[in-house]
Amino acid sequence: MQSIPDLSTQALISRDLVAALRRDAPLVQCLTNFVSMNTAANVLLAMGASPAMVHAQEEAPEFARVCGAVVINIGTLSSPWLDSMLLTAASANEAGIPWVLDPVAHHATAFRRDAVQRLLDLRPAIIRGNASEIIALAGGQSASKGVDSRDAVSQAEQSAHAIAAHRGTVVAVTGETDYVTDGTRAVRIVGGSPLMPRVTATGCALTAAVGACAAVSRTDPFSAAVAALSCFAIAGRRAGAQAEGPGSFAWRFLDALAALDADDLGGESPLR
Annotated binding site for ATP: 128, 174
Residue 153 to residue 1: CA distance in whole angstroms: 19
Residue 222 to residue 5: CA distance in whole angstroms: 11
Residue 113 to residue 258: CA distance in whole angstroms: 36
Residue 184 to residue 120: CA distance in whole angstroms: 20
Binding residues for substrate are 53, 201
Kindly report the CA angle at 96 between 94 and 102, in degrees rounded to 5? 90
Binding residues are 53, 128, 174, 201
Pinpoint the alpha helices (H) of the chain: 7-24, 37-47, 60-64, 79-95, 110-120, 131-137, 153-167, 202-215, 221-242, 246-259, 262-267
Question: CB of 252 within 8 A of CB of 239?
Answer: yes
